[in-house]
Structure 1
């Protein structure tokens, strides 16, 4: 007998296509006084039956200040930047920190196959288009750099500078089976993520 390794949700079991972590899980976090804002974006083709997803984000500081957009990697969320947000606000910047789909306070598709690189780029591109930061500094960390660089290139006229931390460069990056990425995928697949 073999285990069912399909990541497609069994709709007959009542498993929802998208979940969101309860708001109370985020109450009273140290150094996190930031209001949850959200933008609804198209879910895209990787989640059949779902039209929109909610991207949660922080938007703090003067609206006419230079915006700094910070995109986290995996397996974290915008909370990663809690200390940087305060420092940037003290310097007079506007700070925007989205939680990528599947992380933090944003919607989380239950089908693991929904989480493709093109889907993440599409979701963050839709968020950027909706929030529309102009003349922004983009900071990407880890996978946030790979996704964010693609998005920044789509909004090149709205990006004044790019900063990468622990990042990945390359327009033709394609994760290969096996290797470190393959090991990470196997580890992530073994976690009960719900």
Structure 2
């Protein structure tokens, strides 16, 4: 099971999900994206591009020779993970998409997301822990806020979190427009199991699961779920419940 985090979190996000997945007998890996968590942190925002992140995760996956992968992806973990999966289909058996997507630049971005893009570029101080707290229903104890802040001792370490929102394709002139459009064309032929697990409390992605359910062949007949009482970072709000959804999904869709 490959767990892909997004922006501006790190694999700490999956601490409530990894133990039950391992207990169920599944090898579970949760990488930190470059610029996040315990991974290296390029100092310049220009060091980060969408394509580089796809390439970095692909090289990491190949180096570990991961196969028969069940991908669980959320936020930027989906923009990267879905590209990696569709470009390396022989390595992936199933996909679970949660509060994420694969924008081509043709869709209108929500006002909530446009506000987030502007904030990430312009705010003098980028408080990672507070931002993640703002995307959950659960009230964090101080130790959790500190854990999300820990990978970023000061603003110099935050090039990745600051630039990633602006790398989401927002027009057909985006450098990744064609690649994501091609990926969508491939997903329209994807017959392996595909499940969506979105939350009811995410203003950024609410409702965007519908095209996947409608158009992806592998999504037909799956038990797509809306997670109640959860925000954008649903792994924090409903981690154990998500783990059970993953386990049930794998067992009902053997490969």
Which residue is equivalent to 1:123?
A: 56
Can you list the C-alpha shifts for 1:155-193, whole angstroms capped at 9, x where unaligned? 2101000001101134x3479899554433332233362
CA RMSD of aligned residues (A): 2.3
Q: CA deviation at 1:125?
A: 1.2
- Whether 1:193 and 2:125 are equivalent positions in the alignment is no
Can you list the C-alpha shifts for 1:2-27, whole angstroms capped at 9, x where unaligned? xxxxxxxxxxxxxxxxxxxxxxxxxx
Which residue is equivalent to 2:41?
A: 108
Q: CA deviation at 1:132?
A: 1.6
Which residue is equivalent to 1:184?
A: 116
Q: CA deviation at 1:104?
A: 0.3
Which residue is equivalent to 2:217?
A: none
Asked if 2 retains the 8 angstrom alpha-carbon contact of 1:176 and 1:182, the reply is no
Change (3 A) 1:187 1:129: same
Q: Structure 2 unaligned runs (5+)?
A: 127-153, 157-255
Which residue is equivalent to 1:165?
A: 98
Asked if 2 retains the 8 angstrom alpha-carbon contact of 1:101 and 1:120, the reply is yes
Bigger RCO (CA 8 Å, 6+ sep): 2
Can you list the C-alpha shifts for 1:103-154, whole angstroms capped at 9, x where unaligned? 0000011101222211211111111111121111011011101110001112
C-alpha distance in structure 2 between counterparts of 1:116 and 1:176, whole Å: 21
Change (3 A) 1:173 1:149: farther
C-alpha distance in structure 2 between counterparts of 1:163 and 1:87, whole Å: 17
Structure (1/2) with the larger strand percentage:
1
C-alpha distance in structure 2 between counterparts of 1:113 and 1:127, whole Å: 21
C-alpha distance in structure 1 between counterparts of 2:66 and 2:31, whole Å: 12
How is 1:85-164 mapped onto 2 (pairs within 5 angstroms)?
85-164=18-97
Give the TM-score normalised by structure 2: 0.45
Asked if 2 retains the 8 angstrom alpha-carbon contact of 1:175 and 1:181, the reply is no
Change (3 A) 1:151 1:173: farther
C-alpha distance in structure 1 between counterparts of 2:107 and 2:120, whole Å: 15
Which residue is equivalent to 1:81?
A: 14
Change (3 A) 1:140 1:78: same
Asked if 2 retains the 8 angstrom alpha-carbon contact of 1:70 and 1:138, the reply is yes
How is 1:23-102 mapped onto 2 (pairs within 5 angstroms)?
68-102=1-35
SS in 2 for 1:96: coil
